[in-house]
Amino acid sequence: MKKILQLVSNDFEDLELWCPVMRLREAGFQVDLVAEKAGVYHGKYGVPCEVPMSFEEVEAKDYDGILVPGGWAPDKLRRFPKVLKLVADMNREGKLIGQICHAGWVLASAKVLKDRQVTSTPGIKDDLTNAGATWLDKPCVVDKNIVSARRPPDIPEYMKALVEVLNNQK
């Protein structure tokens, strides 16, 4: 069974966190929630998320991919050196990195966007292009191991792409 990390911090976009978790679990993948410390975190709309593990308890080598939610959580997540290391290690190993909406901030801070094609909410287009990416205004973009989407209405295409990349990953 493939194992995926779902990063969590307060003010995540509820749909952008929970839809991937539920869809990947439904497809038979193990999805582990991880945050600064174990505890309960809340989305932008108040939906709670109980997280059993801290960033310091996980290593990229033990997982097949990582998901970064949108909302305001990415601005908090990118401040943790361990989060940036997890994302950089996943990228170096060619493992899935899923990003949606504002999640691209984390990838920019992890310095994994040079010469990559991605999408995001248009509000962070400049951040991603300044990090070396080519930004595309499409619902979902797959560039090798990085799967990106713009916003909640694009979740169906994003979910299909995440499952496809994971199923094709060695």
- As annotated, the active-site residues are 101-102
Query: What is the C-alpha to C-alpha distance for residues 155 and 71, in angstroms, rounded to an integer?
Result: 14
The CA dihedral of 54, 57, 58, 62, to the nearest 10 degrees, is: -140
3-state DSSP: the chain helix, strand, coil percent, rounded to 5? 40, 25, 30
What CA–CA distances, in Å, run from 137 to 33, 105, 123?
29, 17, 12
